[in-house]
Amino acid sequence: MSDYIDAYLTQLEQVIHNTSREPIVAVVDALEAAWREGRQVFLIGNGGSAATASHMMNDLNKLTLAPGKTRMRALALTDNVPLMTAWGNDAAYEDVFVEPLLNFMRSGDLLIAISTSGNSPNVVKAVRTAKAHGMKTIGFVGDRGGRLAEMADLVIRIPSPHIGQQEDGHMILDHVIAGALRERIRAAP
Q: Which residues contact 117 (CB under 8 A, 6 or more apart)?
A: 141, 142, 144, 146
pLDDT score recorded for residue 118: 98
- CB under 8 Å to 12, separation ≥6 — which residues? 160, 165, 168, 169
The pLDDT assigned to 186 comes to 96
Sheet holding 73-76, edge to edge: 73-76, 40-45, 110-115, 136-141, 154-157
Look up the domain containing 106 and give its range. Answer: 2-187
Cβ-contact 159, 15 below 8 angstroms: yes
Beta carbons of 119 and 142 less than 8 angstroms apart: no
Contact 73, 40 (CB under 8 A): yes
Total domains in the fold of the chain: 1
> Considering the chain, what is the average pLDDT of its residues?
97
Residue 69 has phi, psi (to 5 degrees) of: -110, 150
**CATH number for the domain harbouring residue 77:** 3.40.50.10490
Please say whether the beta carbons of 106 and 132 come within 8 A: no
C-beta neighbour count of 21 within 10 angstroms: 9
Provide mean pLDDT across the span 153-177: 98
The pLDDT, as a whole number, for residue 1 is: 76
User: What's the pLDDT at 84?
Assistant: 95
Mean pLDDT of 112-126: 98
Per-residue model confidence as pLDDT tens digits over 76-109: 999 999 999 999 999 999 999 999 999 999 999 9
Which residue(s) pair with 114 in the sheet? 45, 140
Q: What is the pTM of this model?
A: 0.97
Most distant CA pair in the chain: distance in Å? 52
Contact by Cβ (8 Å): 189, 169: no
pLDDT of residue 137: 98
CA gap 74, 186 in Å, rounded: 18
Q: Over the stretch 16-66, which tens digit does the pLDDT of each residue have? A: 999 999 999 999 999 999 999 999 999 999 999 999 999 999 999 999 999
- Pinpoint the alpha helices (H) of 59-143: 81-90, 98-104, 121-132
pLDDT in tens, 133-163: 999 999 999 999 999 999 999 999 999 999 9
